[in-house]
A = this chain, B = another copy of it.
Amino acid sequence: MTDTGRQAVAVGVLVSGNGTNLQSIIDRIESGELLARVACVISNKADAFALERARRHSIPAIHLDHRQHQNREAYDAALVDALKSHGVELVVLAGFMRILTPVIIDAFPNRIMNIHPALLPAFPGLHAQQQALDYGVKVSGCTVHFVDAGCDTGPIIIQAVVPVVEGDTEDSLSRRIHKEEHRIYPEAIQLYAKRRLTIEGRCVRIAPAD
């Protein structure tokens, strides 16, 4: 581990699927653009390809099966244990298809980030890209935000804009949004790592770079 590595923010990434956002984070760390280290990757699904991505980069890859816990709170308590035992400071949700309870939200106050494929507060919840197409907006995008107790309601860190073009499908729009996700999620984590983020009310203030 390099000297930078020792100072880097320990990130725990929660996943359920492919893990392309996880990959973009790993890539930015390895290129030196992001001052963080992935301390562990945890999936509620055993076959999530994100776990394989973690193993390929020698990152602890943990399967925590939600079906083996009595309720959401018990599962989240297990998540907290796993995250803390790996020294995680910042929790990053990267396609984690579970609703979080206060058990984990309170254990990491303003230290859980999520990315959502729309310009919140527009189109929260599932199928945001299809919601945007159905509404007929001409621009959409993605939002990195801190997680609070609501559904996609927490303080916004970065938003990126993506045009909706004639003939777009959920798939084509999602791909265009994904590209921006892979850019802004590492940026948001870097802002956190550089201690540039503060929360006032429900607004995230970004301090100037040194």
- A:135-176 near B, CB below 8 Å: 135-139, 141, 155-159, 161, 166
Decide if B139 touches A121 in the complex (CB within 8 Å).
no
A138 touching B156 in the complex, CB below 8 Å, given contacts A166-B205, A205-B166, A206-B166: yes
Q: Is A119 in contact with chain B by the CB < 8 A criterion?
A: yes
Q: Which B-chain residue is minimally distant from A205 (CB atoms)?
A: B166
Decide if B155 touches A138 in the complex (CB within 8 Å).
no
Decide if B139 touches A159 in the complex (CB within 8 Å).
yes
Give Cα distance in the complex from A120 to B204, angstroms: 22
A119 touching B139 in the complex, CB below 8 Å, given contacts A161-B161, A166-B205, A205-B166: yes
Decide if A159 touches B141 in the complex (CB within 8 Å).
no
Decide if B136 touches A155 in the complex (CB within 8 Å).
yes
**Smallest CB separation, A79 vs chain B (Å):** 27
**Smallest CB separation, A144 vs chain B (Å):** 9
- A:180-210 near B, CB below 8 Å: 201-206
Per-residue CB contact flags for chain A residues 99-134 toward chain B (1 = under 8 Å, else 0) read 000000000000000000001111100000000011
Give Cα distance in the complex from A206 to B206, angstroms: 38
- Residues of the B chain whose Cβ atoms lie less than 8 Å from the Cβ of A135: 121, 156, 202
| Residue from B121, B133, B155, B158 in contact with A122 in the complex, judged by beta carbons closer than 8 Å | B121
- Residues of the B chain whose Cβ atoms lie less than 8 Å from the Cβ of A123: 121
Decide if B136 touches A159 in the complex (CB within 8 Å).
no
Give Cα distance in the complex from A141 to B119, angstroms: 12
A136 touching B166 in the complex, CB below 8 Å, given contacts A119-B122, A121-B122, A122-B121: no
- Residues of the B chain whose Cβ atoms lie less than 8 Å from the Cβ of A202: 134-136
A204 touching B136 in the complex, CB below 8 Å, given contacts A119-B122, A122-B119, A122-B121: yes
Top 5 A-B residue pairs of the complex, sorted by shortest distance between their CB atoms:
A136-B203, A138-B159, A122-B122, A139-B159, A161-B161
